[in-house]
Chain A
Amino acid sequence: LAKTTQPISMDSYEGQEVNITCSHNNIATNDYITWYQQFPSQGPRFIIQGYKTKVTNEVASLFIPADRKSSTLSLPRVSLSDTAVYYCLVGDNNNDMRFGAGTRLTVKP
């Protein structure tokens, strides 16, 4: 069974903020939440990770509510080059590193 659930696809326009939410109702106490970006014919690239509350880095923010049953990746002012598939992953201690279906984001001009 997939540990995470995300929307299959999303469309946006350049310059907009994009929020992608991932549900992980069965997240365990020791699980971290990580998000990855993947372009066609490339390996995924790490974007951001968090455990609880809010995390921000140079490319994105990650919002995690207190119950940790979901998380939201926020991409500020997207550009065409942000068109990719985005995956959230929850896991603990190198185990069970299974990907969900991911969200295919299409940024339009």
Chain B
Amino acid sequence: GAVVSQHPSWVICKSGTSVKIECRSLDFQATTMFWYRQFPKQSLMLMATSNEGSKATYEQGVEKDKFLINHASLTLSTLTVTSAHPEDSSFYICSAPKPGRWTGELFFGEGSRLTVL
């Protein structure tokens, strides 16, 4: 069945470096993908909506120059955390709508845990 896969599952980096997280839709095409961030014991916070072939739509308060989103193909969206700092340490999750007629169902990736030292 349709699956969304993220890579890497976890990453540790030094402060000031950039980290790229990939989100792939397997066996289906996703013109839209959503990126979320989740801190411990908190809900998922929508960061941006990634649109294939166009610029991402960022939520209020999310720095687009810091969290670069590229949706270059119908099966891949990437989130790059630029010049990462310890406060960017979080669990990042992507999702894509179930293909076909919209019913509200989203397929989620496994999540990527970022730790910035």
Chain A contacts to B: CB under 8 angstroms: 31-34, 36, 41-46, 49, 85, 87, 89-95, 97-102
Contacts and interface: CB of A to CB of B under 8 A. Distances in A.
A91 B109 CA distance: 19
A43 B109 contact: yes
Nearest to A32: B104
Contact of B102 (A36, A44, A46, A92): A92
B80 interface: no
Given A32-B103, A49-B103, A94-B102, A99 B108 contact: no
B43 A97 contact: no
Given A41-B91, A93-B102, A101 B110 contact: no
Contacts of A32: 102-104
Contact of B106 (A46, A93, A95): A46
Given A99-B43, A102-B43, A49 B111 contact: no
B34 interface: yes
Nearest to A93: B102
Interface of B: 4, 6, 32, 34, 36, 43-46, 49, 91, 93, 95, 97, 102-111, 113
24 contacts: A31-B104, A32-B102, A34-B104, A41-B91, A41-B113, A42-B111, A43-B93, A43-B95, A44-B106, A44-B108, A46-B105, A49-B104, A89-B104, A89-B106, A90-B104, A91-B104, A94-B97, A97-B46, A97-B49, A97-B106, A99-B43, A99-B44, A99-B45, A101-B43
Given A99-B44, A101-B43, A45 B108 contact: yes
A87 B45 CA distance: 12
Q: Which 10 A-B pairs have the closest CB atoms?
A: A32-B104, A43-B108, A34-B104, A99-B44, A43-B111, A98-B46, A94-B32, A43-B93, A99-B43, A49-B104
Contacts of A36: 106, 108
A100 B43 CA distance: 7
B3 to A, nearest CB: 11
Contacts of B49: 94-95, 97
